Amino acid sequence: MSEAYRPGLENVIACETEISFLDVDHEEIVLRGYDLIDLAKKVSYIDIIGLLIDKRLPNDEERREIERALKSHGQVPLNIWAILKQLPPTTHPMDMLRTGVSALSGFDPNLDDPSPAANRERALRLLAQVPQIVAASHHIAHGGDPIPPKEELSFVANGLYMITGREPSSDEVKYFDQVLMVYCEHELPNSTFAARVITSTLSDMYGALTGAVASLKGPLHGGANEAVMEMLLEAETVEGFERLIREKLAHKEKIMGFGHRVYMRKMDPRAQMMKEALQQMAGSNPEAKKWLDMCVAGETIMREEKGLYPNLDYYAAPVMYMLGIPVPLFTPVFFAARVVGLSAHVMEQLANNRIFRPRVLYNGPRGLKA
């Protein structure tokens, strides 16, 4: 095998960025110079939008400007709903989302303009409209209509309201805000790499994000959060969950929500934050306590048996479940939160572009004649 070949591109440096970096040794997710977990305890998702798109934390007036822009871009073209309603109701919300994000390009009046200003506008439009498509995919699949955002609710509160149809409590908004922040950006995962690869051909932001949705759907990446909740629901009890994990390990199956290419054998700092959110919920809610006890038991087995630690999806899954988010929307919500990081990467790639075009280690036959 060639020295230059690393299966899965493990530890290969594929681009320069000033957006984010996983400093595993110091257990820090660096987000434009800030520690993401520290930020997530102090600011809100709107601030993270400013930080990632405009490269610095917004002041009060700038924060209001972002909120205003998200509201003014909030009108999803009605034809998008018509397109999604054409899909069979069995279509997974991630596939509806992929179709919706792709179709949005047709409604962009300046699609040919790749300037930073036009892409900032585009990012805000996607940030405003993707949460609506996410929520609508659930309602449409169940024969209903999209629930429009409420004028008087904040951007974050609306994200949850449009899914559940119920105005969230202030605690629910706080936890949902945390979910959005921990999922906002994470250096160069498969989906972000896919978006940068697509962008490097000078294709547009919708195409890049459509590719990212497809990447994120896979259970080895974003799809793991749904798989975690399905295991918890199937197992029902601590004993059942311990049994399920041991059985899967005996069959050499992977346990979703554990392991990570970069953190390897360390706990993902975002998982710790979601664990703390679940602990807080568990203080007053017996159902949250049940999921917490099950997750902690699973975490212990995986550490003892495999030396593996939870990634974000493991503890985010029960937190999202407790917020009333249907399981098939977990990965779409992950994507909605990640739109901001992906948009920042698309803009950064364009600012200093060179087309991605790696080589292969050819191990097929030679010299055959037809």
Ligand X SMILES: CC(=O)SCCNC(=O)CCNC(=O)[C@H](O)C(C)(C)COP(=O)(O)OP(=O)(O)OC[C@H]1O[C@@H](n2cnc3c(N)ncnc32)[C@H](O)[C@@H]1OP(=O)(O)O
Ligand Y SMILES: O=C([O-])CC(=O)C(=O)O
Q: Which residues lie closer than 8 Å to 110 by C-beta, 6 or more apart?
A: 118, 121
Nearest to 209 by CA among 108, 92, 99, 328: 99
Nearest to 192 by CA among 221, 219, 159: 221
Instruction: Please report where in the chains the tokens 């697509």 appear, as a residue.
Output: 198
Residue 52 or 84 having the CB closest to ligand X: 52
- HSE at residue 353, side-chain half, CA atoms within 13 A, is 17
- Catalytic (active site) residue 171: no
User: Shortest distance, CB of residue 253 to ligand X, whole angstroms?
Assistant: 7
Give just the sign of the alpha carbon dihedral 10, 13, 16, 18.
positive
Residue 251 or 369 having the CB closest to ligand X: 251
Is the separation of the CB atoms in 98 and 82 below 8 Å?
Answer: no
261 is a site residue for ligand X (CB under 6 A): yes
Give the residue closest to ligand Y by C-beta.
Answer: 189
| H-helix segments, the chain | 36-40, 45-54, 60-72, 78-86, 93-104, 116-141, 155-164, 170-182, 190-199, 205-217, 224-235, 238-250, 269-282, 286-306, 312-322, 330-351
Stretch that binds ligand X, among 46-54, 59-67, 253-261, 284-292 (CB under 6 A): 253-261
123 is a site residue for ligand X (CB under 6 A): no
Interface of this chain with ligand X, residues 208 to 237, rule: CB under 6 A: 220-222, 224
Instruction: Write the secondary structure of 254-287 as one string of H (helix), E (strand) and C (coil).
Output: CCCCECCCCCCCCCCHHHHHHHHHHHHHHCCCHH
From the list 260, 268, 293, 345, the catalytic residue is 260
303 is a site residue for ligand X (CB under 6 A): no
How many Cβ atoms from other residues are within 10 Å of residue 244's Cβ?
Answer: 18
Residue 50 or 341 having the CB closest to ligand X: 341
Question: Which residue of 146, 159, 168, 257 would you call a contact of ligand X, by CB under 6 A?
Answer: 257
- Catalytic (active site) residue 145: no
Site string for ligand Y, 206-245 (x = CB under 6 A): ---------------x------------------------
User: Shortest distance, CB of residue 270 to ligand Y, whole angstroms?
Assistant: 7
From the list 47, 204, 268, 313, the catalytic residue is 313
**185 three-state secondary structure:** coil
Strand 20-23 and strand 28-31: pairing? antiparallel
User: Shortest distance, CB of residue 228 to ligand X, whole angstroms?
Assistant: 7
User: Shortest distance, CB of residue 221 to ligand Y, whole angstroms?
Assistant: 6
User: Shortest distance, CB of residue 177 to ligand X, whole angstroms?
Assistant: 18
260 is a site residue for ligand X (CB under 6 A): yes
**91 three-state secondary structure:** coil
Residue 83 or 301 having the CB closest to ligand X: 301
Interface of this chain with ligand Y, residues 164 to 193, rule: CB under 6 A: 186, 189
Question: Which residue of 71, 73, 174, 254 would you call a contact of ligand X, by CB under 6 A?
Answer: 254
Q: Which residues bind ligand Y (CB under 6 A)?
A: 186, 189, 221, 261-262, 311-312
> Looking at the annotation, which residues are catalytic?
260, 313
Q: Which residues bind ligand X (CB under 6 A)?
A: 8, 220-222, 224, 254-261, 306, 308, 311-313
